[in-house]
Chains A and B, each alone.
Chain A
Amino acid sequence: MDARPSMTPDELLQAYFEGPLSPEEEAQFNAWLEADPSNWDEFVDQLDVHASLWEECVLSTAAERQLKEDSGPSRPPKRKAVALRAGAAYRRARPDRPYLVPAIAAAGALVFVTALVLFSGGDGRKTDGAKAVTRSPSTPIAAPVDDPKPLLSVKPNEPVSPPPPPHAPPRIPEEPPRPPAPPKEPPKPLPPPPEKPAPPEPPKPPPPKTEAALAKLERVEGDVFLLARRGRVQAKGGEEILQDEGVETSGLKSLAFITYPDRTRLEVAGESVVSELSERQGKRVVLAKGQVGADVSKQPADRPMTFGTPHGDATVLGTTLRLTVDSARTRLEVKEGKVKLTRDRKGIDVMSGHYAVAAIGVELAAKPSRVSSGLQALYLFTEGQGLEVHDTSGVGAPLDLRIRKASSVTWRATGLEIHGRTYVASPGAAAKVVEACRKSREVTVELWVKPAKSTSEFEGCLFALSNDDRARNLTLLQGDRADSLNLFAVWLRTTATDATGAPPLVGARGMVEQRLTHLMFGRQASGAEKLYVDGVERASRVRAGDLSVWSDAFRLCLATEGPDIEDERPWVGEYRLVAVYSRALSGDEVSRNHKSGVP
């Protein structure tokens, strides 16, 4: 587990507002809240200002825009003045309820509720009219940046035009810096204000982009958005990306391919945010979250390409790499070339075939990358929450797993802990895995697990491609029903065995311990089967037959062998990694994955 230092209350608060928190951060946040009643006051106070800023900066803009649209083309000018006057009039009429003013001026929700009430005809039921006002979850209430409210653009010395408060607030001095101190250099100039939209009649085409494009969205799949200067807009293939614009992919199956004029290519995986692409002292890509694969063309020596993440920077001159960012860490994997990864002024060179992790409390170090050839399914258990375990292999359609009984599992920062009977399985058949293995006639299953029990009476199913213990393709057990001892056993069905795959390949007794353990089982087309524990071969044999009898109707399941969780050998412990390959990995490759550790 990575040791993350405690966050300060300010860091915790902002992290909470940005979300999501890691389980450790959640625990720390809750503990902080409960430690002192004044912490609740601080939280509610911060939330109040947070919400007020949202109302002031976004909702009021939306409400004003709504007024403009509602008033029709015959009265286009000075809508903003009308809106402000209306707000002022309301305030004069209701001096006892001053807090209503920002709500009325800003309230998209109030407009909605008023419409709801008026359209409902008084029968207390929602109507189509009301529904028509409800926007879809994917549509923001307001297009936030194409017409930013000028409130914040007022220069400090300019007269304040809105109604002055009864008591002019004092000038707020700069708060003295606290460790860590914010940067002292003056802020960079903000992006230029977005262009005003064309008047409604007659419609004019948007002004053409005159600025040279930095890169291009070559292709998009699923919901992809351009984080443009004019706001977050749905992106299409072929669209140009300008300086400082970004790209967001929404949904795990979404994908975006970005190309630069020098043929440098980025592949933005689903649920990712590339918050900025720029080119000043070289190309720069800021990955706020998610995963980006990059094939970087040779860059000038004095203008390397950099990838910025919340946890560090990766600097490249020309290479193929993959960057993955979650809330806690950045993982850099280099396939070709060399990349310099820096964090807190410390840097390491990550060579081809290696990876490194940048995170709080983790020392930068390059480790050999895991074997990827023949990979069919990969589960890293980094979700941290929810009832799904995602297949991150990137091979074919993801074979995600569902957790049936949430109360039997706990997400840890390091993986998924199983502490009760549950069924973690693919909703449908694991056809992509079975078909690939039948075709190659080989298979390897790899696990990083931490057993919670190691007594000789205990037996549990770690991994299975199976229906139950009477019909299976492959099952890896801790313990064994026939000879229940603290060992690992593999049951594999071939054309020369019955449907259960008996007899099993069993490792030496006494090998199960309550610690992080690396398990690999592989079978070659020749019939050679080997079981490795922590990189060391612990059992082997040669068996006749092949995998052509494997059923493609079985699911891939963890923690039990079948859906009957009361009977199918529930396992307890923590999963850190599960991988399935459609080939037998060599001894060297087994050793490489073992040395690579848990990603």
Chain B
Amino acid sequence: MDDRHADFLRRFTSAQPALRRFVLGHVRDFHRAEDVLQEVAVVLWDRFPEFVAGESFERWAFGVARHKILRSWRDRERDRLVLTDVMADRFAERLCALGPQHDERRMFLKACLEKLPERSRAAVELRYARQSSMAQVAAALGGSINAARLLLCRTRRLLSRCMESTRQGEEVKWTPAPP
């Protein structure tokens, strides 16, 4: 592997988490997002000789990704982007600004998952590990689809707070959000 290969891999690996979030934020379907991400990787490597050292690799990658997402939408014709161009730019800026501190949180995800209340953990397992539909999640949990949606949303919030608290090494007692 020559220097250019190593340089590309290093940059791509560093940008990949934010890139995946950027694509997933637009495309939303897990599997389709991974398809788009792979296509983006091909284009990035293809055009890597054009990349100007010193510029932001992430911003360059986001531009390519957005183009790929638009192509993906046009091919399907039945979907469209929700975020406007201006909002997509803002979205990209936010992701670029997250930085390594935010990335560090991810290593605490597994431990935080184990601390979840049983019902929340079951919802996560069904939706993400088993990729059940929301209707299936709702049926397994014995509630409505709307209740399952709210539960998942709150569970992600719980996880986020747990990861952040743990990252900061705070010995704080976690306080639930006000209703």
In Å, the complex CA distance between A13 and B79 comes to 18
> Residues of B contacting A29 with CB < 8 Å?
82
B70 within 8 A of A: no
A276 to B138, CA, bound (A): 11
Q: How far apart are the CA atoms of A541 and B74 in the complex, in Å?
A: 48
On whether the beta carbons of A276 and B136 are closer than 8 Å, the reply is: yes
CB contact between A170 and one of B84, B106, B165 (< 8 Å): that residue: B165
CB-based contact A52/B106 at 8 Å: yes
Contacts of A171 on B, CB cut-off 8 Å? Answer: 115, 174
Q: Which of A137-192 contact B (CB under 8 A)?
A: 137, 140-141, 144-145, 148-149, 151-154, 156, 160, 162, 164-183, 185-188, 190-191
User: Is A120 part of the binding interface, using a Cβ–Cβ cutoff of 8 Å?
Assistant: yes
Give, as a whole number of angstroms, the nearest-CB distance from B8 to chain A: 6
Q: Is the CB of B160 within 8 A of A388?
A: no
B94 to chain A: which residues have CB within 8 Å?
Answer: 40-41, 44
Q: Is B113 an interface residue (CB 8 A)?
A: yes
Find out whether the CB atom of A19 lies under 8 angstroms from the CB atom of B102. Answer: no
Per a CB cutoff under 8 Å, which of A44, A166, A286 touches B169?
A166
For the complex, is A101 an interface residue (Cβ under 8 Å from B)?
A: yes
Among A44, A164, A186, the one with the most B-chain Cβ atoms within 10 Å of its Cβ is: A44
Given A29-B82, A124-B48, is A172 in contact with B115 using a C-beta cutoff of 8 Å?
A: yes
The docked-state distance in angstroms from the alpha carbon of A16 to that of B111 is 27
Query: How far does the alpha carbon of A149 sit from the alpha carbon of B139 in the complex, in Å?
Result: 22
Indicate whether B41 reaches chain A with its CB closer than 8 angstroms: yes
A53: CB under 8 A from chain B?
yes
- With a CB–CB cut-off of 8 A, which chain B residues contact A125? 46
Cβ B35 vs Cβ A135 within 8 A? yes
Given the known inter-chain contacts A14-B153, A17-B28, A310-B145, please indicate yes or no for A288 contacting B135, CB distance below 8 A.
Answer: yes
Tell me whether B45 and A172 are in contact (CB under 8 A): no
Minimal beta-carbon separation of B101 from chain A (angstroms): 9
Query: Distance (Å) between the CB of A410 and the closest chain B CB?
Result: 12
Residues A109 and B42 in contact, CB atoms below 8 Å apart: no
B131 near A145 with CB under 8 A, answer yes
Are A386 and B20 interface neighbours, CB within 8 A? no
Chain B interface secondary structure, helix, strand, loop or mixed? helix
Q: Which residues of B, 146-164, contact A by the 8 Å Cβ criterion?
A: 146-154, 156-160, 162-163
**With the chains together, A96 CA to B34 CA distance in Å?**
27
Q: Are A109 and B20 in contact (CB under 8 A)?
A: yes
Residues of chain B within 8 A of A44, CB atoms compared: 21, 91, 94-95, 98
Is A182 touching B9 in the complex (CB atoms < 8 A)?
no
Question: Please, what's the 1-or-0 string for B111-149, where 1 marks a CB less than 8 Å from any CB in chain A?
Answer: 111111111011011101111111110011111111111
Chain B residues whose C-beta falls within 8 Å of the C-beta of A153 in the assembled complex = 125
Q: List CB contacts (< 8 Å) of A293-309 with chain B.
A: 308
Residues of A within 8 A of B87 (CB): 30, 33-34
Smallest distance from the beta carbon of B5 to chain A beta carbons, Å?
A: 5
CB distance from B137 to the nearest CB of A (A): 9
- The answer to whether A386 touches B145 (Cβ under 8 A) is no
Q: Judge whether B49 is part of the interface by a CB distance below 8 angstroms.
A: yes
CA A59 to CA B17, docked complex, whole Å: 12
B-side contacts of A134, CB under 8 Å: 38-39, 42
Interface size class of A (residues with CB under 8 A): 35 or more
A552 within 8 Å of B by Cβ? no
Query: Is A45 at the interface (CB under 8 A from chain B)?
Result: yes
Q: Say yes or no: B34 contacts A108, CB within 8 Å.
A: yes
Hey, which chain B residues are within 8 Å of A118, CB to CB?
1, 5
B151 touches A182 (CB 8 A): yes
Give Cα A501–Cα B177 distance, bound, in whole angstroms. Answer: 71
A243 → chain B, closest Cβ, in Å? 12
- Quick check: B104 and A99 within 8 Å, CB to CB? yes
Using known A-B contacts A44-B95, A169-B162, A170-B162, determine if residue A388 contacts B77 with beta carbons closer than 8 Å: yes
B136 and A183: CB pair below 8 A?
Answer: no
Which residues of chain A are within 8 angstroms of B104 by Cβ–Cβ distance?
98-99
Q: Does B24 contact A (CB under 8 A)?
A: yes
Q: Which of A20, A140, A167 contacts B31 (CB 8 A)?
A: A140
Q: How distant is B104 from chain A, measured CB to nearest CB, in Å? A: 5
Contact, CB under 8 Å: B102 / A48: yes
A60 to chain B minimum Cβ distance, whole angstroms, is 10
Contact among A56, A91, A154, A173 with B109 in the assembled complex (CB-CB below 8 Å): A56
Please determine whether A169 and B41 come into contact, CB atoms closer than 8 angstroms. Answer: no
Contact of A58 among B16, B90, B129, B169 (CB under 8 A): B129
B32 within 8 A of A: yes
Report Cα–Cα, A62/B143, bound state, in Å. Answer: 31
B60 located at the interface, meaning its Cβ lies under 8 Å from any Cβ of chain A in the complex:
no
B79 touches A386 (CB 8 A): yes
Let me know if A241 is at the binding interface, CB within 8 A: no
CA distance A58 to B159 in the complex (A): 17
Q: Verify B82–A21 contact, CB threshold 8 A.
A: yes
Whether the Cβ atoms of A154 and B174 lie closer than 8 Å is no
Expressed in whole angstroms, the minimum distance between the Cβ of A9 and any Cβ of chain B is 9
Asked whether, in the complex, the Cβ of B136 is within 8 Å of the Cβ of A275, the reply is yes
**B12 interface residue, CB < 8 Å from A?**
yes
Q: Given the known inter-chain contacts A113-B12, A182-B151, A187-B140, please indicate yes or no for A164 contacting B78, CB distance below 8 A.
A: no
- Collect the chain A residues with CB atoms within 8 Å of residue B48's CB: 124
User: What 0/1 pattern do residues 39 to 81 of B give for CB contact below 8 A with A?
Assistant: 1011001111100000000000000000000000000011110
- Cβ B106 vs Cβ A183 within 8 A: no
Task: Sample 7 A-B pairs with CB under 8 A, ordered by A number.
Answer: A14-B149, A53-B128, A57-B124, A58-B129, A151-B110, A152-B113, A185-B142
Known pairs A54-B128, A137-B31; list 7 more (Cβ under 8 Å). A18-B134, A47-B24, A49-B160, A116-B42, A178-B154, A275-B136, A385-B80
Residues of B within 8 A of A (CB): 1-2, 4-5, 8-9, 12-14, 16-17, 20-21, 24-25, 28-32, 34-35, 37-39, 41-42, 45-49, 77-80, 82-84, 87, 90-91, 94-95, 98, 100, 102-119, 121-122, 124-126, 128-136, 139-154, 156-160, 162-163, 165-167, 169-174, 176-179
